[in-house]
Amino acid sequence: MDKRKFWKGAAFVAAVVCISGATTAVVVKLTDKPETTSSMMYPQTNPYARFASAAPALETDFTVAAEQTVHAVVHVKTKTKIEQVYSRDPFLEFFFGNPYRNQQREAPVQEGAGSGVIISPDGYIVTNNHVVGDADEIEVTLNDNRTFTASVVGKDPNTDIALIKIKADNLPTIPFGNSDDLKVGEWVLAVGNPFNLTSTVTAGIVSAKARNINILNTEMRIESFIQTDAAVNPGNSGGALVNTRGELVGINTAIASRTGSFTGYSFAVPSSIVSKVVTDIREYGSVQRAVLGVAIQDISNELAKAEGLKTMQGAYVANITEGSSAEKAGVKRGDIIVNVNGNKVNSSSELQEQIGRYRPGDEIFIEVLRDNKTQRLQVKLQNRQGNTEIISTEVVADILGAKFQEVDHKTAAKLGISYGVQVASVGKGKFQEQGIQEEYIILKINGMQIRKADDIQKALDAAMNEEEEGRVLFIAGVYPNGNVAHYAINLID
């Protein structure tokens, strides 16, 4: 036989075998059903045939989720008047007068930006409290470039969530997903407006859950963030964190950075918390906070050794409030709470997240480890006041019995003040009982500056959440004639 013809034929056969082997590999990848082909008949000619049965993971497609969500994420722009402090010396004013008495001074304005997520076709938008919390003006720009003026429906500093509203219809929305179903390593998208760059989508994975990073400065804060490595920058706050199905699983809130820009990790409020907060705000006007009445901490090596604990998982009960839900249910100091209504609890932040989903009056089951044995307890949750009543904005307003209005520029200039809220009318309530009269200008309550009526609500809510002896409003203000007046209102009488 001609050697040249032999090698040509051999080369042709080898090519056929290799192509057949490659084809087999492709078929296995797509169908997972091995077929009898020439590569199986001649396995020695295909060195990679032994890997054919191991089908690699399919590539993740982000295009559908991006398309479904980008139109429901809005650009939020805010304007906030900055306080100007003018030092006043009564002695000098007596001789030389007040140089600002007849001058109108416009407070400088600080501009901010963030993102928001449309959650209903009629214009309800969820965002971060730190984006709109102190804003005097809020402008919302949709993905189609339409702009609207927004109003604040309600805010919750404890979770850094706020609900705002625009007057519009038939808006695109993002449906809520279940953040509990998220798994570490799962792909997610961050949708927002970083650096005023609208409609920006970035991808990453969930790198941790139930993160407590101590960024919220409130007594009843709930920090159980979803940690991701999706790029989030200034302007992304309030934007959407979605799964690959286009469902809302979180609201992007913070980044871990030494530079102010993204350096690797971002944090989002889980949708399980967001959903409960916005539902409360829409139904009751304020968030209904249920509490167990326990002081908790994570279990460290030192604590485990000192207390003889045989687990590092769960929330350790360091103390119990007298008369609280936990005490009535039989929780004791030294217990380790490991489960709430079938949901495993590994840390204090996870316990806070679980309890944060319920309202006063709800009944739940918790599991505790006591003497290394599991006990199941039924708990009827209470509010901070030790009862199960629902507190609405209207009920809170009735406590004070007053209506409020902005201070006009002429009065503010005359008094040399740059902020304050004026009492428009006084009816039956705490203000009337203390002798507070109409036109009184409230400047501070419990040390907090009062710039708008919402601040009075915020100060009242904070006081109502204190222990019984701390439920007092210390009010500082001035009447239009210049008379300074201070009042103390006991909220438990």
| Structure confidence at residue 402 (pLDDT) | 87
Matching fold, domains 60-287 and 393-490:
no
| C-alpha–C-alpha distance, residues 261 and 249, integer Å | 23
Q: Kindly tell me the burial class for residue 337, based on how many C-beta atoms sit within 10 Å of its own C-beta (0-12, 13-18, 19 or more).
A: buried
Residues facing 369 on adjacent strands: 336, 374
- Dmax over CA atoms of the chain, in Å, equals 126
Q: Which of 482, 413, 488 is nearest to 444 (CA)?
A: 488
Per-residue pLDDT of the chain (493 residues; tens, 9 = 90+): 444 444 444 333 333 333 333 333 333 233 333 333 333 333 334 443 443 444 455 567 899 999 999 999 999 999 988 755 454 555 555 555 555 554 555 668 889 999 999 999 999 999 999 999 889 899 999 999 999 999 999 889 899 999 999 999 999 999 999 999 999 999 999 999 998 888 899 999 999 999 998 888 777 789 999 999 999 999 999 999 999 999 999 999 998 887 888 878 999 999 999 999 999 999 888 889 899 999 999 999 999 999 999 999 999 999 999 999 999 999 999 999 999 999 999 999 999 999 999 999 999 999 999 998 999 999 999 987 788 887 765 555 667 888 888 888 888 889 999 889 999 888 888 898 899 999 999 999 999 999 888 788 878 877 876 666 677 899 999 999 999 999 999 887 6
Task: Exactly one of 38, 75, 115, 160 is catalytic; name it.
Answer: 160
Task: Exactly one of 20, 38, 130, 229 is catalytic; name it.
Answer: 130
Q: Which of 346, 318, 313, 350 is nearest to 332 (CA)?
A: 318
CA distances from 101 to 335, 377, 455 (A): 63, 65, 27
| C-alpha–C-alpha distance, residues 289 and 381, integer Å | 9
Q: Domain 60-287 is in which class?
A: mainly beta
Q: Domain 294-380 is in which class?
A: mainly beta
**Residue corresponding to tokens 């993204």:** 262
**Cβ atoms of residues 274 and 184 within 8 Å:** no
- Cα atoms in the Cβ-side hemisphere of radius 13 Å centred on 474: 4
Q: Which of 28, 243, 284 is nearest to 153 (CA)?
A: 284
User: Which residue type, as a one-letter code, is found at position 99?
Assistant: P
| C-alpha–C-alpha distance, residues 456 and 492, integer Å | 17
| Structure confidence at residue 284 (pLDDT) | 86
Task: Exactly one of 38, 179, 224, 237 is catalytic; name it.
Answer: 237
**Is residue 160 annotated as a catalytic residue, yes or no?**
yes
**Residue corresponding to tokens 């938008």:** 125
Domain positions in the chain are 3-51, 60-287, 294-380, 393-490
**Is residue 130 annotated as a catalytic residue, yes or no?**
yes
**Is residue 280 annotated as a catalytic residue, yes or no?**
no
CA distances from 422 to 87, 263, 379, 486 (A): 22, 45, 44, 14
| Structure confidence at residue 211 (pLDDT) | 92
User: Which residue type, as a one-letter code, is found at position 14?
Assistant: A
Tokens at residue 485, please? 């007046």
CATH of segment(s) 393-490 = 2.30.42.10
User: Which residue type, as a one-letter code, is found at position 83?
Assistant: E
| C-alpha–C-alpha distance, residues 441 and 171, integer Å | 41
